[in-house]
Structure 1
Amino acid sequence: MKIMSNEQLIVSYRDALKSGNDKDWIRVLQGEIKKRGLKPIKK
């Protein structure tokens, strides 16, 4: 996977969820988000 900053990772994840086309990419991003301990959803 290309190295991304935390901000880029979150933005990519949100964009992937909005488009909903590539389920595999969403899973890869989710795994990376969990490894980094980030929370991608605003409350």
Structure 2
Amino acid sequence: MKILSNEQLVAAYRDAKTHGQEKDWIQLLKKELRQRGLKPFKSV
């Protein structure tokens, strides 16, 4: 996986979730988000 900034990673995850892309890609992005301690969506 190429190096992404935190903002690019969150945007890629959100885009993959909304467009229903491959589950493997979503899981990979989710794993990287957890490693960096990021939350892709604001909690209400």
Give TM-score scaled by structure 2 length: 0.91
Q: Root-mean-square deviation (CA), in Å?
A: 0.7
Number of residue equivalences: 43
Q: Which runs of 5+ in 2 are unaligned?
A: none
Q: Matches of 2:21 and 2:4 in 1, distance apart?
A: 21
How much identity, in percent, do the aligned residues show? 58
Structure 1 residue 30: Cα displacement: 0.2
Q: Which runs of 5+ in 1 are unaligned?
A: none
Give TM-score scaled by structure 1 length: 0.93
Whichever residue aligns with residue 37 of structure 1, its letter is G
- Corresponding residue of 1:28: 28
Question: 4+ residue runs of structure 1 moved beyond 3 angstroms?
Answer: none
